[in-house]
Amino acid sequence: MNFWKSSPRHNLEEYEVKCHKEVSMLTEEQIRERLDEILVPGVARSLVKLNSVREITISDAQVNISLASAALSSETQGWLKTKVQDVVKRLPGVRDVKVDFIEARPRDANEIGNVIAVMSGKGGVGKSLVAALLGIALARDGKEVGILDADITGPSIPKIFGLNRARPCGSDTGILPVLSRIGIEIISINLMLAHEDDAVIWRGPLIGKTIQQFYEDVLWGKLDYLMVDLPPGT
């Protein structure tokens, strides 16, 4: 009889060695690939694309993940914590997953490669349509695109994309943009009105502050291009 073959202690040691080998082969990139599959409720973009993953550390069989809290409600954070733990624990050799949220604002997480401003000398010349079509062309080319509708008094981007009933969500730390069917992130004052045809009669300073908030307080995440549809005459 082979004692070592039937010994529970020996089997446990073999299991621990196997787990150690599996964990030693586990990489941060593998974990990020799994996190890229988790879509954030309310915007339907992944944690990775929203740039919410701040740090990943691997120690023996434990994985520690830090996520940015920007624009995420407490309910969303709780759901994401459970989801991340469930997904990462499925990786070979992972025994425990610790997830914590660090305080952050959207501007801390946003990584925007290029900003393209679309403007015109007067209204009614198709400026918003040009911004939308350019964004669509870039998205179809595989780029990550967002559109900031800065035409506060005459917003039309949501209508072009058929988002009249959509509403942005978020928390006191920021706003999550609305995701169009083609995958373009969109923010517009029109999406925040009780009725889409409500008039917005604001003075210049208030308009300027709103545009700044749309740029800094919206969680755009990682974008290759951000289209800005400016008001006519700018």
Query: What tens digit of pLDDT does each residue of 70-86 get?
Result: 999 999 999 999 999 99
Second CATH level (architecture) for the domain 109-229: 3-Layer(aba) Sandwich (3.40)
> What pLDDT score does 60 carry?
86
> 3.40.50.720, 3.30.300.130, 3.20.20.70, 1.25.40.10: which CATH number matches 3-104?
3.30.300.130
> What pLDDT score does 198 carry?
60
> What pLDDT score does 54 carry?
96
3-state secondary structure the chain: CCHHHHCHHHHHHHHHHHHHHHHHHCCHHHHHHHHCCCECCCCCCECCCCCCEEEEEEECCEEEEEEECCCCCHHHHHHHHHHHHHHHCCCCCCCEEEEEEECCCHHHHCEEEEEEEECCCCCCCCHHHHHHHHHHHHHHCCCCEEEEECCCCCCCHHHHCCCCCCCCEEECCEEECEECCCCCEEEEHHHHCCCCCCCCCCCHHHHHHHHHHHHHCECCCEEEEEEEECCCCC
pTM for this structure? 0.82
> What pLDDT score does 4 carry?
41
Residue segments in the chain with a per-residue pLDDT below the cut of 70: 1-24, 194-203, 234
Q: Where are the domains of the chain?
A: 3-104, 109-229
> What pLDDT score does 153 carry?
83
